[in-house]
């Protein structure tokens, strides 16, 4: 399996482990407002794993490949789930924001990884 395919599978797996199995909304008994389905620790854990995937992918290949291989499948699976669970149509906005966030965040992680690697190589 190629690097990009492996990163894609791991990105989808990351979504499933942290976010994909949670569709429960929490309702505040006082205000009646609903939140969720995700809790902060789930999202933080998911982001940290995605960062590790982009770092690893950037260390063994081009950073842009790592970013695309993580961001696109992650966004696709998130969008697939969101579309099936949203009656308002706002999943489209969420999907765009997830793609923007994963691409921008991934690009930043890849750039920092490359810079740190160059510095380490040049400084011996």
Q: Yes or no: say if 54 and 44 are a contact pair by the CB < 8 Å rule.
A: no
H or E segment to which residue 98 belongs: helix 91-123
pLDDT of residue 31: 83
Q: What is the mean pLDDT of residues 110-123?
A: 88
**Closest C-alpha among 59, 70, 98, 51 to residue 6:** 70
Tell whether the model's pLDDT for residue 11 goes beyond 70. Answer: yes
pLDDT of residue 30: 83
pLDDT in tens, 59-86: 999 999 999 999 999 999 999 999 998 8
Domain extent, residue 104, equals: 3-123
Distance CA 38, CA 43 (A): 7
Largest CA distance in the chain: 60
What does 12-34 look like in DSSP terms, one character per residue? HHHHIIIIIT--PPEE-TTT--E
Q: How many domains does the chain have?
A: 1
Q: What is the mean pLDDT of residues 6-18?
A: 97
Mean pLDDT lowest among 84-88, 102-106, 113-117? 84-88
pLDDT of residue 27: 74
Tell whether the model's pLDDT for residue 104 goes beyond 90. Answer: yes
């Amino acid at each position: 399996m190629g690097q990009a395919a492996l990163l894609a599978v791991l990105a989808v797996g990351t979504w499933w482990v942290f976010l994909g199995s949670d569709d429960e909304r929490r309702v505040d008994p006082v205000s009646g407002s609903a939140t969720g389905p995700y809790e902060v620790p789930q999202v933080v854990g998911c982001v940290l794993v995605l960062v590790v995937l982009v770092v690893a992918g950037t260390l063994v290949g081009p950073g842009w490949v790592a970013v695309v291989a993580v961001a696109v499948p992650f966004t696709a699976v998130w969008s697939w789930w969101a579309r099936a669970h949203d009656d308002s149509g706002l999943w489209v906005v969420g999907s765009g924001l997830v793609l923007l966030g994963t691409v921008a965040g991934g690009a930043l992680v890849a750039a920092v990884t490359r810079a740190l690697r160059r510095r380490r190589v040049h400084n011996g």
